[in-house]
């Protein structure tokens, strides 16, 4: 065989040796893939029972408002309510 042939083989061998193969993935560093779990069953709880008689009514708020509101502080209380409503 010719000398050029052997030089070509040597160059190809060197080129193949210089190729760096990617290192195998280290599975110890990465968390294992988690299989998707089944979705939780739908809630079958009954709706809560609300005691309507214990809820505050408009008349109770009116009595409280008559005690807290005066003509002198009406604008200040209104400003407080507007700030509370507009607050994020």
Q: pLDDT tens for residues 59-74?
A: 888 888 888 888 888 8
pLDDT at 76: 92
Task: Name residue, tokens 């008559």.
Answer: 66
Query: Is residue 50's pLDDT more than 90?
Result: no
Vertex 20 angle, CA 15 and 25, to 5°: 155
Q: How many domains does the chain have?
A: 1
Residue 35 belongs to some domain of the structure: no
Structural domain of residue 85, as residue ranges?
A: 56-88
Residue 63 belongs to some domain of the structure: yes
Residue 4 belongs to some domain of the structure: no
Average pLDDT of the segment spanning 31-56: 71
**Token duo for residue 69:** 């509101």
Confidence of residue 85 (pLDDT cuts 50, 70, 90): very high
- Rounded Cα distance, 9 and 37, in Å: 55
Average pLDDT of the segment spanning 6-31: 62
- Rounded Cα distance, 53 and 60, in Å: 13
Q: What is the sign of the dihedral through the CA atoms of 64, 67, 73 and 74?
A: positive
Q: What are phi and psi of 61, to 5 degrees?
A: -70, -35
């Amino acid at each position: 065989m010719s000398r050029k042939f052997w030089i070509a083989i040597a160059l190809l061998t060197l080129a193949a040796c210089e190729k760096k193969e990617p290192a195998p993935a280290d599975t110890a560093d990465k968390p294992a893939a988690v299989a998707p779990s089944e979705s939780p069953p739908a809630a079958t709880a009954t709706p809560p029972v609300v005691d309507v008689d214990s809820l505050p009514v408009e008349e109770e708020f009116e009595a409280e408002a008559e005690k807290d509101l005066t003509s002198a502080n009406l604008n200040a209380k209104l400003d407080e309510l507007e700030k509370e409503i507009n607050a994020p």
